[in-house]
Structure 1
Amino acid sequence: MEREFNFQTVSEYNDFNNHETGHPLVSVIDFSQAAKRTGSKMHFELYCIFLKDVKCGDLKYGRQHYDYQEGTLVFISPGQVVDVENKVDEYQPMGHGLVFHPDLLLGTSLGKSISDYNFFSYYTNEALHLSAKERKLVLDLFAKLHSELHQTIDKHSKKVIASGIELLLSYCERFYDRQFITRDTVNKGMLEKFEGLLNGYFNSEKPYTIGLPSVAYCADELHLSANYFGDLIKKETGKSAQEFIQAKIIEVAKNKIFDSSKTVNEIAYDLGFKYPQHFIRLFKKRVGSTPAEYRTLN
């Protein structure tokens, strides 16, 4: 029977990887010190940043799969579950990681901004692939945190550690921006798929059965996490995914308004609006006139 682990504290994860606990809320892990193990399902109540250096099977993260490559950063937030499928019989974990408990962030500037780092809720196949230079920088930041954790804890420790983690996350934001750019061809293909998805949606019965298309629905249909999808669309178009969907709604609505056999209310229901006044409000906000006024003017 497959083993399952539930890591609620840093010390539990340290024990699992043969590490001493120097600080109860944060640890830098050298996975080469861990014993050999087989794949297993792991539940985390911690923030984790893993730099994996060895193939250990196909990682299942939600419904998505990801085959680890050297120099890849994976981010995990509290409450997430990581599983390994197509497991090798036994492997020696390698690489490094940073784990920290949410309580470490209380009263720090990072505690206020941690939710802004969307990549903690990306799917694993949306992981961050590092260049050799970027990998070295990440390892240097891990080393600085490791050094601080071996200092005597004083009133400055929490602020210094949280600032070090915040610096690491800021670099990761920069690296992700670079990754969005270097994958420009792939991203443009995804934008075309998004456009096609919306066209197909409004040419189907889905507005009647589902209602208006949500960002989460579109991301799921395109096999992306909602946050990664939103960040990708924002980088490519300068608009949020929600704004992109609303622009498509208005485009479709304008064409429908020229069919004078339908009332504004009927058009609203055709588009998936539950209440026609919501459609009228959105249309006026985006176009500058109500649907009825637009029909008259045109």
Structure 2
Amino acid sequence: MPKITHFESIKQYCDFNNQGLLHPQIALVDLSLAAPRKLQRMQFNFYLVFLKEIKCGNLRYGCNSYDYDEGTLVFLAPGQVIGEAGKEIYQPIGKALAFHPDFLIGTDLAGKMDDYSFFSYEANEALHLSERERGFIEDSLSKINRELEQAVDKHTRRLLVSHLQLFLNYCTRFYDRQFITRANANRGVLTKFEALLSEYFRSGQAEAEGLASVAYFAERLHLSPNYFGDLIKKETGILAQEHLQQKLIRIAKERLHDPEKSISEVAYGLGFKYPQHFTRLFKKVVGMTPGDYRKVG
């Protein structure tokens, strides 16, 4: 297995890129100052956002094909591994915004980080910026950098967190745009998802493997669970888990009309380990137990 280079601190990452340190918990790194290096796998103990300034085809973080060439943002949460090992030498270009989770402790942003689900996307699900969007992003990063260059005082942390939150909110807006502009591709994913879901129940996989999960279908569609979940929410207006549940209840209703099947058989066939769990869910969604539904049906 290829060696993974671990970065525990912001300072360690700045040193790695020949960059001075202005704040121990947040930094805007100019990657062009780094020495040329080999491709390698890396893991970080902090959040990282890469703004790549080269053509997307040259992105060194697993990108396949992109809609825009003006700029690309790749998001990493603490603990994620990115990159690929190789002998090729390349010169990093672009910027990297690094900030440690401890920097957010005690701020409103700390409780909102889970809302920025793109930190758990894969590299090939990066945010591809139009020229106009890139202007907003670079302006946000410039404000963060200007504040970092100020002498530290009692206002520093509050202002940096405020600029950081604005930056992340812009990223959320632009991701929403990306889902919209990829509507045709997204509908293709939704169609494949529906086919896989139907096959999961029809083939007996549910009984063999258990209840259908978002992660299961995301993997088969070659998407990260978070990106897949967000895509389904944008396309259908409901959570992916709700979509699974609705499908399950529809099939449950169909199978309950078969008098040859017991309620326990229906439950096991849908992937439930215990029939009472099926009964509880069915009553919660439909408003009556499977037995009562069978009587009125």
What are the superposed Cα offsets for residues 199-245 of structure 1, whole Å, 9 maximum, x if unpaired? 00001121222111111111111111111111111111111111100
- Secondary structure of 1:28 counterpart: strand
- Secondary structure of 2:288 counterpart: coil
Aligned partner of 1:218 in structure 2 is: 217
Shift of 1:95: 1.0
Shift of 1:282: 1.4
- Secondary structure of 1:165 counterpart: helix
Query: Structure 1, unaligned stretches of length 5 or more?
Result: none
Aligned positions of 1:119-130 closer than 5 A: 119-130=118-129
CA–CA distance in 1 between the matches of 2:115 and 2:23? 25
Aligned partner of 2:20 in structure 1 is: 20
Distance 1:3-1:278 versus aligned 2 partners, 3 A rule: closer
Aligned partner of 1:33 in structure 2 is: 33
CA contact (8 A) 1:39 1:57 kept: no
CA–CA distance in 1 between the matches of 2:241 and 2:190? 14
CA contact (8 A) 1:59 1:67 kept: no
CA–CA distance in 2 between the matches of 1:119 and 1:101? 17
Identity %: 51
CA contact (8 A) 2:16 2:34 kept: yes
Deviates more, 1:131-140 or 1:203-212: 203-212
- Secondary structure of 1:212 counterpart: coil
CA–CA distance in 2 between the matches of 1:58 and 1:166? 27
Shift of 1:288: 2.0
Aligned partner of 1:162 in structure 2 is: 161
Query: Structure 2, unaligned stretches of length 5 or more?
Result: none
Aligned partner of 1:98 in structure 2 is: 97
Structure 2 counterpart of 1:59, from 58, 61, 70? 61
Q: 1:238 aligned to 2:240?
A: no
RMSD: 1.8
CA–CA distance in 1 between the matches of 2:185 and 2:117? 20
CA–CA distance in 1 between the matches of 2:92 and 2:180? 31
CA–CA distance in 1 between the matches of 2:14 and 2:28? 9
Aligned partner of 1:152 in structure 2 is: 151
Residue identity in the other structure for 1:50? F
TM-score, normalised relative to structure 2: 0.94
CA–CA distance in 2 between the matches of 1:83 and 1:164? 28
What are the superposed Cα offsets for residues 99-155 of structure 1, whole Å, 9 maximum, x if unpaired? 011111111111111121100000111110000011111111111111100101011
CA–CA distance in 1 between the matches of 2:123 and 2:74? 6
Aligned positions of 1:121-200 closer than 5 A: 121-200=120-199
What are the superposed Cα offsets for residues 26-61 of structure 1, whole Å, 9 maximum, x if unpaired? 11111111111221111111100101123656534x
